[in-house]
Structure 1
Amino acid sequence: MKSVLLFLILTNIPASLQSSYNDNLSDILSRLEKLEKDNREKDSVISFLLEKTKYCPTSYIGSDNGTIQHSKKAISNPISTGLLPAFHARLSRDLTNIGTGQPIVFDLETLDTTNSYEPSDGIFTVPMNGVYVFYWNLLTNQASGMDTTLMSTHGPLGFGFVSHAENYENGGNLIIAKLTSGTHVWVKKADKYGDFLHERFSTFSGYLIQETD
């Protein structure tokens, strides 16, 4: 097609100008070929990035079929900050009306060394490959024993339980897991039982203990 276009143009201009036009058109065609090559390379990079990010979803479907949207703040680079990932958060008020499968949003963040925990939705985004420790503690009242799950992008990491008591009762768990960068981690209510969490004593925290490849 390019050669046909060049032929048609050259047959309709004076012979004295053909050399100049030929040089200009060759230059234009060369630039077009370079742009096409650059676009192919960009398409390849975009496809690679999409493939890498498809395993880091930004929403979750709970067992009650309610969608929880995740709005993540920018994660700091641990190398640039000089700090290893660590976070701690708790409830700022008593939590009630907790749906089955609903994430427990610990909305009062007191520590976040790499800006990786989002207090608006309770989700920690792993900033670097490594082995992490997570701990969550819940305080319920006499009517609200609760079964919970530490969830991740790729499935459950562990389970916790608070039993019924005559007054208040603590419960949770400590989990150690090897995770990859971009993985989301959060605590959710696992079943229909339990509908109260006390604010000051219900916490969620985690930290890196070893970086991996």
Structure 2
Amino acid sequence: MAKLMLTTALLSLVFVVIVAGHDESPSCVYSVMEQMLEKMFKLRTRMDEWERRFTELEDQVNKTKIRTPIVAFRALLTKSLKNVNKGTLIKFDDVDFNLGNVYNDGVFTTPYSGTYLLSTTLGNPTGHPGEFNLKKNGEKVEYNVAGHTNGFNVGGVTTVAKLNAGDKVWVEGSGSITGPYEISGYYTSFSGFLVNRI
């Protein structure tokens, strides 16, 4: 309604300008006005159609967008643990980053249902064998070992898991669990991130 009133007001103004500036007869002026009015309505119709199409396209784009929240963590072990009993929760004490505050006191709690990438590494020297069990709600997901061969070796495993919101994931260790080593750096870690929300 407001657009129609504005259009009428503009046409009235144009009419006044045309009448004031030309000596043509009123019928000629009205003919020009009719043509202008017809063109304006056609233009308005086209604009409405383009606006409708744009809105539909915008809705389609928004529906197809996959918005994955940022969830990621990486934690390292800065101390060595010896004679670790099987089933002991390993608390990685140096949290490199913790986006979403999802890793706390050794346990990763999933904030969303989705597919997650999870990874653990265990570095041990010769003669100090150890093992890791990656657990989800108490059930084994993956397994890795280190220290069973000559020299310093690192055992690692990376997997993709479908997890539900509120699931808890942690690492249990046994044997020897080495944190720092002679070569500068930490070789024992636990990390993960959300790939897709489902």
When normalised by structure 1's length, the TM-score is: 0.55
Indicate which of 124, 129, 143 corresponds to 2:113.
129
Is 1:164–2:148 an aligned residue pair? yes
Deviation, 1:100, is: 1.0
Q: In 1, distance between residues paired with 2:103 and 2:129?
A: 27
Equivalent residue number for residue 196 of structure 1: 177
Superposed CA RMSD: 1.7
Q: Which runs of 5+ in 1 are unaligned?
A: 1-81
Equivalent residue number for residue 106 of structure 1: 92
Equivalent residue number for residue 159 of structure 2: 175
Indicate which of 187, 194, 198 corresponds to 1:208.
194
**Higher share in strand:** 2
Q: In 1, distance between residues paired with 2:137 and 2:74?
A: 20
SS in 2 for 1:100: strand
Equivalent residue number for residue 92 of structure 1: 78
CA contact (8 A) 2:114 2:195 kept: yes
Indicate which of 133, 138, 141 corresponds to 2:125.
141
SS in 1 for 2:165: coil
Q: In 2, distance between residues paired with 1:109 and 1:95?
A: 18
**How many pairs align?**
126
Write the letter of the residue equivalent to 2:73: F
**Higher share in helix:** 2
Is 1:117–2:98 an aligned residue pair? no
Q: In 1, distance between residues paired with 2:151 and 2:139?
A: 33
Q: Alpha-carbon deviations, 1:97-135, whole Å to 9, x = none?
A: 3111111111110111100101x3x11001110000001
Q: How is 1:29-68 mapped onto 2 (pairs within 5 angstroms)?
A: none
Deviation, 1:96, is: 2.3
Larger radius of gyration: 2
Q: In 2, distance between residues paired with 1:198 and 1:114?
A: 25
Q: In 2, distance between residues paired with 1:154 and 1:92?
A: 25
Identity %: 28
Q: Alpha-carbon deviations, 1:167-201, whole Å to 9, x = none?
A: 21100200110000111001112x5xx32313311
When normalised by structure 2's length, the TM-score is: 0.59
Q: In 1, distance between residues paired with 2:138 and 2:177?
A: 28
Of structures 1 and 2, the one scoring higher in RCO (CA 8 A, sep 6+) is: 2
Q: Which runs of 5+ in 2 are unaligned?
A: 1-67, 181-185
CA contact (8 A) 2:125 2:147 kept: no
Q: Alpha-carbon deviations, 1:29-72, whole Å to 9, x = none?
A: xxxxxxxxxxxxxxxxxxxxxxxxxxxxxxxxxxxxxxxxxxxx
SS in 2 for 1:182: coil
